[in-house]
Structure 1
Amino acid sequence: MDRLTLRRPDDWHLHLRDDAMMRAVLPETTRNFARAIVMPNLVPPVVTARDAAEYRDRILAAKPTGSKFRPLMTLYLTEETDVRDLRAAADIGLITAVKLYPAGATTNSASGVRDFSKVRRVLENMAQIGLPLLVHGEVTDPEIDIFDREATFITRVLDPIRRDIPGLRVVMEHVTTRDAVDYVREGGADIAATITTHHLVINRNHILAGGIRPHYYCLPVAKREEHRHALVKAATSGDASFFLGTDSAPHLDTAKLQPCGCAGCFTATNTLSILAEVFEAAGALDRLEAFASLNGPAFYRLPPNEDRIVMEKGAPVAYPSSIATEEGPVTVFDPGMPLHWRVAE
Structure 2
Amino acid sequence: MTDTLTIRRPDDWHLHLRDGAVLKAVLPHTERDFARAIIMPNLVPPVVTAADAADYRDRILSAKSQGSRFQPLMTLYLTEETQPKDVRAAAEIGLVKAVKLYPAGATTNSASGVRDMDRVMRVLETMAQVNLPLCVHGEVTDAAIDIFDREAVFIDRVLDPLRRRLPELRIVMEHVTTADAVDYVRAAERHLGATITAHHLVINRTHMLAGGIRPHYYCLPIVKRERHRLALRAAATSGDARFFLGTDSAPHVDAAKESACGCAGCYTAPVALPLVAQVFDEEDALDRLEAFVSLNGPAFYRLPPNEDMITLRRAEAPVPPAVETAQGSITVFDTGRPLAWQVER
State whether structure 2 residue 187 is matched by structure 1 residue 186: yes
Equivalent-residue separation in structure 2 for 1:340 and 1:101 (angstroms): 35
Q: Deviations over 1:120-170 (max 9, x none)?
A: 000011111110000000000000000000000000000001101120100
Q: Return the letter of the residue paired with 2:40.
A: M
| Corresponding residue for residue 145 of structure 1 | 146
* TM-fit CA distance, 1:327: 1.5
Equivalent-residue separation in structure 2 for 1:321 and 1:52 (angstroms): 32
The normalised TM-score by structure 1 is: 0.99
* TM-fit CA distance, 1:313: 1.0
Alignment of 1:167-186 (within 5 A): 167-186=168-187
Q: Deviations over 1:1-21 (max 9, x none)?
A: 001001000000000000111
| Corresponding residue for residue 125 of structure 1 | 126
| Corresponding residue for residue 11 of structure 1 | 12
| Corresponding residue for residue 267 of structure 1 | 268
Equivalent-residue separation in structure 2 for 1:344 and 1:288 (angstroms): 16
State whether structure 2 residue 341 is matched by structure 1 residue 326: no
Q: Deviations over 1:280-306 (max 9, x none)?
A: 000000100000000000000000000
* TM-fit CA distance, 1:321: 2.7
* TM-fit CA distance, 1:338: 2.4
After TM superposition, which residue ranges in structure 1, 4 or more long, deviate above 3 angstroms? none
* TM-fit CA distance, 1:191: 0.2
Between the two proteins, the alignment pairs up a number of residues equal to 344
State whether residues 274 and 335 of structure 1, in contact with CA within 8 Å, keep that contact through their aligned partners in structure 2: no
Q: Return the letter of the residue paired with 2:284.
A: G
State whether residues 133 and 169 of structure 1, in contact with CA within 8 Å, keep that contact through their aligned partners in structure 2: yes
Equivalent-residue separation in structure 1 for 2:338 and 2:239 (angstroms): 25
Equivalent-residue separation in structure 2 for 1:337 and 1:194 (angstroms): 25
The normalised TM-score by structure 2 is: 0.99
| Corresponding residue for residue 198 of structure 1 | 199
State whether residues 40 and 99 of structure 1, in contact with CA within 8 Å, keep that contact through their aligned partners in structure 2: yes
Q: CA RMSD in A?
A: 0.6
Equivalent-residue separation in structure 1 for 2:320 and 2:155 (angstroms): 38
| Corresponding residue for residue 341 of structure 2 | 341
Equivalent-residue separation in structure 1 for 2:39 and 2:183 (angstroms): 26
| Corresponding residue for residue 103 of structure 1 | 104
State whether residues 169 and 191 of structure 1, in contact with CA within 8 Å, keep that contact through their aligned partners in structure 2: yes
State whether residues 133 and 171 of structure 2, in contact with CA within 8 Å, keep that contact through their aligned partners in structure 1: yes
State whether residues 217 and 264 of structure 1, in contact with CA within 8 Å, keep that contact through their aligned partners in structure 2: yes
State the secondary structure of the residue aligned to 1:24: helix
| Corresponding residue for residue 307 of structure 1 | 308
State the secondary structure of the residue aligned to 1:31: helix
* TM-fit CA distance, 1:319: 3.0
Q: Return the letter of the residue paired with 1:337.
A: R
| Corresponding residue for residue 246 of structure 1 | 247
Q: Deviations over 1:91-122 (max 9, x none)?
A: 01000000000000000000000011000000
| Corresponding residue for residue 117 of structure 2 | 116
State whether residues 17 and 39 of structure 2, in contact with CA within 8 Å, keep that contact through their aligned partners in structure 1: yes
Q: Return the letter of the residue paired with 1:317.
A: A
Segments of structure 2 that go 5 or more residues without pairing to the other structure are none
Q: Return the letter of the residue paired with 1:323.
A: V
| Corresponding residue for residue 161 of structure 1 | 162
* TM-fit CA distance, 1:335: 2.2
State the secondary structure of the residue aligned to 1:340: strand
State whether residues 205 and 224 of structure 2, in contact with CA within 8 Å, keep that contact through their aligned partners in structure 1: yes
Percent identical: 70
* TM-fit CA distance, 1:318: 2.4
